[in-house]
């Protein structure tokens, strides 16, 4: 534990359970002294998120469906009742119909394309519109992306297109909010077995491939992602904005199958 986040207050969005990337980030921030608030989607998740929040000393647990503008407004109104400002935001939210996270990208439907972009891309911008008003210079936000934004990955399909748009939106948000001293970055995480990932076709194969072929010859954990998020969310990252930072055991630098990797 350290004091990197002492005196800082942050909102964590996208916690579903203790396998969530949001949980790895929340733990790293709490361990560093941050005070946390959590949002959850739907009543079913409240039962999970409540106790997890409590275990990190947080009693601010508010509902938010990012597909609904009024719900985002209500989240920030609820937050304002508790806190006069926030120092950081974590956006760990993405969604697509899992029937389109397999097969061919070309078969993506208009309706699922629009929904995937709305929930996985626009929601971050919508959240930052509200968060900006509660943030002072030194504020920092992090969203989660994946290498499928940069290269074609099997089954990632419309989510790859959405993540490319999310990474572009991080750059535009960094410029707009940078004038007020607020930083905006993305972490491109390697594959991790979470609820959202279980919807992706052949996910076990993708994890195995990354484990065998990444420079570190392993997969990353939510605590690897949490540690890097801590750097970007704390003052350690004070000169970094608009960046997509890979936390993927180095997989994105690799050009070919590793010489020692067995066939799978
Ligand atoms: P997860 O299932 O634990 O978290 C996804 C969260 O998104 C859930 O908490 C869910 O409630 C929330 N969500 C979905 N639709 C929502 C809505 N309309 N309103 C509010 N919340 C909504 O899975 P995760 O893997 O921790 O996902 C977090 C982020 O990390 C996602 O953006 C995902 O694309 C990204 N990511 C995941 C991996 C991976 O391999 N797991 C890799 C790179 C990036």
Contacts of 92 (CB under 8 A, 6+ apart): 12, 13, 14, 15, 20, 21, 22, 25, 143, 144
Ligand 1 atom, smallest distance to 16 CA: 9
What's the rounded Cα separation, in Å, for the pair 84 and 205? 46
The domains of the chain, with CATH numbers, are 9-246 (3.40.50.720)
Q: Are 146 and 116 in contact (CB under 8 A)?
A: no
Q: Which parts of the chain register pLDDT below 50?
A: none
Contact 191 CB / ligand 1 (< 6 Å): yes
CA–centroid distance, 13 to ligand 1, in Å, is 9
User: Can you give the pLDDT at residue 135?
Assistant: 98
Which one-letter DSSP state was computed for residue 191? P
In this structure, what token pair is assigned to residue 50? 């409540």
Does 111 show up as a binding residue in the annotation?
no
| pTM, to two decimals | 0.98
Atom of ligand 1 nearest to the CA of 17: 3
Cβ of 132 below 6 Å from ligand 1: no
How far is 36 from 28, CA to CA, in rounded Å? 11
Dmax (CA) of the chain? 57
Determine if residue 7 is labeled as part of a ligand binding site: no
Q: How many whole angstroms from 94 Cα to the centroid of ligand 1?
A: 5
């Amino acid at each position: 534990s350290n004091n990197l986040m002492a005196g800082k207050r942050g909102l964590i969005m996208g916690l579903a359970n203790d396998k969530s990337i949001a949980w790895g980030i929340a733990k790293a921030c709490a361990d560093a002294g941050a005070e946390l608030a959590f949002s959850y989607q739907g009543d079913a998740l409240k039962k999970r998120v409540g106790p997890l929040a409590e275990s990190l000393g947080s009693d601010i647990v508010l509902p938010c469906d990012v597909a609904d503008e009024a719900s985002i407004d209500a989240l920030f109104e609820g937050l304002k009742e508790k806190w006069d400002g926030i120092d950081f935001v974590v956006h760990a939210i993405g969604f697509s119909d899992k029937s389109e996270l397999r097969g061919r990208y070309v078969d993506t439907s208009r309706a699922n394309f629009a929904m995937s972009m709305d929930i996985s891309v626009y929601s971050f911008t919508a959240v930052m519109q509200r968060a900006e008003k509660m943030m002072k210079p030194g504020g920092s936000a992090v969203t989660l992306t994946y290498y499928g934004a940069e290269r074609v990955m099997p089954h990632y399909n419309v989510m790859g297109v959405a993540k490319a748009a999310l990474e572009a939106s991080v750059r535009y948000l960094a410029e707009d909010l940078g004038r007020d001293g607020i930083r905006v970055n993305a972490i491109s995480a390697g594959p991790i077995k979470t609820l959202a990932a279980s919807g992706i076709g052949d996910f076990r194969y993708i994890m195995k491939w990354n484990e065998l072929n990444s420079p570190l010859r392993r997969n990353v954990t939510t605590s690897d992602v949490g540690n890097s998020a801590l750097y970007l969310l704390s003052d350690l990252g004070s000169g970094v904005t608009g960046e997509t930072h890979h936390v993927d055991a180095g997989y994105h630098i690799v050009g070919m199958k590793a010489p020692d990797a067995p066939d799978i």
